[in-house]
């Protein structure tokens, strides 16, 4: 059972480039989310989805797009990368929409550097 | 400004010592979770507390949810080097999980 799989593990971009961070889960979870983790800031929610076809913004959505065409996949797109988007990105899922009483299953992260 | 304030930010102690990590907010949460994260990995859930005043124990770890459901604490008894890591609290607000900045714990042998 793979759980939550994120690719790539590491990525270096130049300012202005675009790219997609991939996230897939094989647990049939309804809820999926993207966080970024910066030193001293903890994890901040970027976007989340409560089911296929439904997405919503988190705390820091600017500069990022998401889509949820299937239950399994929740890609995060950086439209025009900026140095401020240098961070470690985590994808997480949980069985049902609404994290109340549910644990989040995290991927192992993507370390992104924007030069 | 963090919705959830964790303290201390960093803690370095000797093996066998006790410690407490605090997670405070001015907001009420329907439940609160504690995660532990190791370098290069994603956070892993330790516990969820739901009821105001609730106390949960996980071996040497004791978690408490404040009566008003605005704060929580994590107490570790007789810390061991294997407890080293980043401890994160997270509050549930509707469909969102809001995290504190974390406490880095280093236990020296």
- First and final CA of chain A: distance in angstroms? 36
Q: Do A4 and B42 touch (CB under 8 A)?
A: yes
CB-based contact A28:A2 (threshold 8 Å): no
Cα–Cα distance measured from residue A107 to residue A103, given in angstroms and rounded to the nearest whole number: 13
| DSSP 8-state class, residue A83 | G
Share of chain B above pLDDT 90, in %: 83
Q: Do B41 and A108 touch (CB under 8 A)?
A: yes
- Indicate the residue of A42, A92, A97 with minimum beta-carbon distance to B95: A97
Tell me the per-residue pLDDT of B24-58, one tens digit each, with 9 for 90 and over: 999 998 889 999 999 889 999 999 999 999 999 99
Place of tokens 């140095």: A83
Instruction: Say whether A42 and B9 touch across the interface (CB within 8 A).
Output: no
Chain B 27-66, CB below 8 Å of chain A: which residues?
30-31, 33, 40-45, 48, 50
Residue A21 has pLDDT above 70, yes or no: yes
**Residue B108's pLDDT is what?**
97
Block residue for tokens 């797009």? A65
Contact A41 B101 (CB under 8 A): yes
pLDDT band (50, 70, 90) for residue A1: low
Inter-residue contact A115 to A15 (CB < 8 Å): yes
Q: What is the DSSP letter of B42?
A: -
**Residue A100 confidence (pLDDT):** 56
| Encoded tokens for B51 | 């009821």
pLDDT tens digits for range A37-59: 998 888 999 999 999 999 999 99
User: Of residues A91 and A97, which shows the higher confidence score?
Assistant: A91
> What is the distance of C-alpha A83 from the center of its chain?
18
Tell me whether residue B56 is exposed, middle or buried, using C-beta atoms within 10 angstroms of its C-beta: 0 to 12, 13 to 18, 19 or more. Answer: middle
Interface probe for A, chosen from B35, B95, B100, B104 (most Cβ of A below 10 Å), is: B95
Percent share of chain B, pLDDT over 70: 98
* Angstroms from A30 CA to nearest CA on chain B: 12
pLDDT exceeds cutoff 80 at A102: no
Decide if B44 and A100 are in contact by the 8 Å CB cutoff: no
**Residue A105 neighbours by CB under 8 Å, 6+ apart:** A3, A4, A25, A27, A29, A92, A93, A94
């Amino acid at each position: 059972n793979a759980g939550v799989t994120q690719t790539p593990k590491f990525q270096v971009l130049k300012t202005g480039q675009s790219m997609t961070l991939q996230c897939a889960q094989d647990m049939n979870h309804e809820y999926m989310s993207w966080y970024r983790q910066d030193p001293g800031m903890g994890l901040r929610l970027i976007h989340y989805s409560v089911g296929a076809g439904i997405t919503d913004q988190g705390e820091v959505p600017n500069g990022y797009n998401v889509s949820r065409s299937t239950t399994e996949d929740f890609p995060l797109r950086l439209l025009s990368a900026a140095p401020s988007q240098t961070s470690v990105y985590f994808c997480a899922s949980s069985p049902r929409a609404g994290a109340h009483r549910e644990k989040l299953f995290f991927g192992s992260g993507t370390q992104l550097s924007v030069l | 400004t963090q919705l959830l304030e964790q303290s201390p930010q960093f803690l370095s102690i000797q093996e066998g010592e006790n410690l407490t990590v605090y997670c405070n907010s001015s907001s009420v949460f329907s439940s609160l979770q504690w995660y532990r994260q190791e370098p290069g990995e994603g956070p892993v859930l330790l516990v969820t507390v739901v009821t105001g005043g609730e106390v949960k124990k996980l071996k040497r770890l004791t978690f408490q949810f404040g009566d008003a459901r605005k704060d929580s604490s994590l107490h570790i008894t007789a810390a061991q080097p294997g407890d080293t890591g980043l401890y994160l609290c997270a509050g549930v607000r509707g469909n969102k999980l809001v995290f504190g900045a974390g406490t880095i714990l280093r236990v020296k042998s």
